[in-house]
Amino acid sequence: MPTTERNAPIDVPRGLKGVVVTDTALGDVRGLEGFYHYRQYSAVELAETRTFEDVWHLMFYGTLPDAAGRAAFTARTAELRRLPADVRDALPAIARSCALAGPLAGLRTALSLAGASAGFRPLYDIDADRRRADALAASALVPTLLTALHRLGQGLAPVEPRADLPYAANYLYMLTGQEPEPARARAIERYLISTIDHGFNASTFTARVITSTGADLAACLVGAIGALSGPLHGGAPSRALDTLDAIGTPERIDPWIRERVLAGDRIMGFGHPVYRTEDPRSRMLKEIARGFGGPLVDFAVQVEERVEAILAELKPGRELHTNVEFYAGVVMELCGLPREMFTPTFASARVVGWCANILEQAEDSKIIRPAARYTGPPPPQPVPAI
């Protein structure tokens, strides 16, 4: 329990739920309202009206660019997409080593190498301009690394980035080798914008903890990627589609869902630790999916409706709605992304949010160092002799 003794430990909720650990000007999630924002703007409205580069600029510099600023920033970041020769040469070996684990695991190694190759220095030792330059370079490189690792894992040659394509379209081009249809590029762009940042989630908090030690930017991002890879965080979009596959047909929806609910099992794609209303990202992605239409979309909507109805019957009073992963998986499937690239695609957007948080955290040199309650055998015990 709380105490007034100076520097004494203070009990907090498990998982730090609801605990405020710092101030931020980057955005917030208001879970009871079903609303989140980047700086002073609705994140969903930004996804509906602006480009990825505009929002990237907003997160890094605090302002939305005008037309001239957009063109300049887009050109500047496009120039940073190409991999250094030593990093490119190492990717085949990294892809082979991560053949079973996938591109996100390979990204951790590749990004460490890229940071070392670029001479990233500890954030504690460099000024704000150099930190931002490192953050821009890393954010621009991540899509190139991810798509190259995926293609190498499929026995295909990496596709060089194109400076004439915007962020999302270039990502799809590097992934498939073909320039995407505008509707699909825009659908993925809206998804990417909507996932740039989302409060103090596990990966963002991890990035800030590492930043507080003064480590280099690549180290901070590698830690964030590790957190994102967990199925309870960013690893769920493909699992949500796996749920649809497991159900299979409309007549199996009710028995499948009832069995899982009564067993207390988690239904992937539903529920969120912050939102007590519909996830606004899910609402937007559902609209995008319906714009494409087709059997998969119809089935997903039917599953969503039945899950909510069955929960209302079996668990009255419990609010459980689709989260971002449910319709994100549907949209990415409709846009031709392979399932093993769903979470890496998430990472290709969230890297901008991580970097913005890293830049903000680096302005405060106080290391994040919480305490833990010891629950083992009472010390000191005598050390037994051999």
Which active-site residues does the annotation give?
Answer: 272, 325
As a whole number of angstroms, the distance between CA 322 and CA 284 comes to: 12
**Residues 6+ away with beta carbon under 8 Å from 194:** 43, 44, 47, 281, 284, 285, 324
- Which residues does 263 contact at the CB level (< 8 Å), separation at least 6? none
Beta partners for residue 29, in sequence order:
36
- Helix (H), strand (E) at residue 376: none
Chain-centre distance for alpha carbon 87: 24
Q: Are strands 35-38 and 27-30 parallel, antiparallel or unpaired?
A: antiparallel
Burial letters for 77-94: b for 16+ Cβ neighbours within 10 Å, e otherwise?
A: bbebbebeeebbebbeeb
Give the CA count within 13 Å in the CB-facing half-sphere of 71. Answer: 2
Read off φ and ψ for residue 217, nearest 5 degrees.
-65, -40
Phi-psi category of residue 15: left, alpha or beta, with phi > 0 → left and psi -120 to 50 → alpha: left
Q: Across the chain, which distance is largest between two alpha carbons, in Å?
A: 75
Amino acid at 233: H
CB 45 within 8 A of CB 38: no
Q: Cα–chain-centroid distance for residue 129?
A: 25
Beta-bridged to residue 270, according to DSSP, are 322
